[in-house]
Amino acid sequence: MSDDKVVRVGSRKSQLALIQTNKVVAILQDLHPNTKFDIVSMSTTGDKILDKALSKIGEKNLFTKELELALEDGRVDMVVHSLKDLPSTLPKGMVIAAVCKRDDPHDAVVLHAKHAGKRLEDLPQDSVIGTSSLRRIAQLRRKYPHLKFKDVRGNLNTRLRKLDEDNVYSALILAKAGLERMGWKERISFVLDPSICMYAVSQGALAVEVRDDDLQIISLLSKLHDKETVLRCVCERSFLRQLEGGCSAPVAIHSVITDDKLTLTGAALSLDGSECIKSSMSTTIPNHQDTKKKESTMSKQYSCIVADSVSQDALQAAEVLGIELAKKLQNDGATEILRVARATIAREVEQTSQKRKAESDAKETSESACKYQAVHSTINKTQ
């Protein structure tokens, strides 16, 4: 890459997104001091619609679509994402060229000040927990049936302000990684153990998406890969893709690498948490520290990730593990559980859409009536 090359990096406009993008850009700048990196920020659909739960919006790629369009038409050369926001299948021509070292993927509880020192089991009957995640709600309902759950949207600042000031929520459930990146570690009351609430696929990991034919940019990003994170995320994403769960479905995951063994635990739940299909599998990771690549081989994608610096045999083993665990859950009944969940979500999306249309039509009718009255009032005054 020439010294005068400018690389345009796409990012969402939120404070957290820009913190994450600047973190990645800082690493790239150290690795490539003669290249200039310009951040191009923009709002996505998920950023703009804040009055309803993500699962009820009814669109895919809520936090990525606008960024991917900019990538496709060349306005940006790469996009930094929270990897959990990227669907398990990317648009044609897109690929993930870097997966950075994963921060703690677990969920954290932020209690209202009046409940300081308590655990979820200690909260009063019908205490309201703020979260828009179907995955979190389904798991926590199983463990804490005395609690109620309510959507809470907005950026982290807004959600924490709602907790502190609205006197509605007893606690919020948020990603530990996001709170720590914002510098709010002290707000964390405690972290949820995976035995209580497993995390979302790829939660805690940052990724960089690029055009699959931009070999120069792919090469530029290759050193960002963290091998263990890549293997775990390839495994998790292949699990989700096989289940056809989608970002909003109640699918939960937990993965760990110990020595040369990768263990994946996954679950599919009904929306109310009454049904849960859960299982674990392990595989041996061959030469997962090997960084050599055969020059004659073309780059291959694993769960839409290109990582030539990681052993291809290890990547293949990780991807297969995710698929095989998903197939086991499907055989155990996960397919039907998720089918019912998707159908319920689809009905809620349709109801929300119809309600929104009715409100829009009513507003338009009211505005037309006001204009009509204003016109006739003016006419009457001139007569």
Residue 63 has pLDDT above 80, yes or no: no
Distance CA 123, CA 128 (A): 9
Cα–Cα distances (Å) from 168 to 111, 119, 123, 160, 256, in that order, read 12, 18, 14, 12, 37
User: Which strands make up the sheet holding 36-42, listed edge to edge?
Assistant: 36-42, 6-12, 78-82, 206-211, 94-99, 305-306, 301-302
Listed residue (319, 314, 99, 81) closest to 226, CA to CA? 99
CATH number assigned to the domain covering 6-104+201-341 = 3.40.190.10
Helices (DSSP H) in 44-198: which residue ranges? 45-48, 65-72, 134-143, 156-165, 176-181
pLDDT tier, 297 (very low <50, low <70, confident <90, very high otherwise):
very low
Hey, do 6-104+201-341 and 107-191 end up sharing a CATH topology, with the first three levels equal? yes
Q: What angle do CA 252, 239, 97 make, to 5 degrees?
A: 105
Q: What is the pLDDT of residue 111?
A: 98
Q: Does domain 107-191 correspond to CATH entry 3.40.50.2000?
A: no
Identify the pLDDT of residue 216.
95
The encoded tokens of residue 237 equal 């994403």
**Catalytic amino acids?**
85
Read off the DSSP letter of residue 59: -
pLDDT of 330 over the 90 cut: yes
> How far apart, in whole angstroms, are the C-alpha atoms of residue 10 and residue 68?
9
Q: H helices of the chain, where?
A: 15-31, 45-48, 65-72, 134-143, 156-165, 176-181, 215-221, 227-243, 312-329, 335-382
Query: Which segment of 100-104, 155-159, 274-278 scores lowest on mean pLDDT?
Result: 155-159
Contact status, residue 229 vs residue 101, Cβ threshold 8 Å: yes
Largest CA distance in the chain: 91
Nearest to 109 by CA among 184, 199, 187, 167: 187
Q: What is the rounded CA–CA span in Å between residue 48 and residue 167? A: 25
Domain extent listing, the chain: 6-104+201-341, 107-191
Tens digits of residue pLDDT in 161-208: 999 999 999 999 999 999 999 999 999 999 999 999 999 999 999 999
CA distance 144 to 196: 10
Judge whether 30 and 8 are in contact, CB under 8 Å: no
Strand arrangement, sheet containing 251-258: 251-258, 261-269, 276-284
pLDDT, tens digit (0-9, with 9 covering 90-100), for 33-49: 999 999 999 976 654 44
Q: CA–CA separation, 78 vs 211, rounded Å?
A: 8
pLDDT at 309: 92
Q: Who has greater pLDDT, 323 or 53?
A: 323
Compute the mean pLDDT over every residue in the chain, rounded to the nearest whole number. Answer: 88
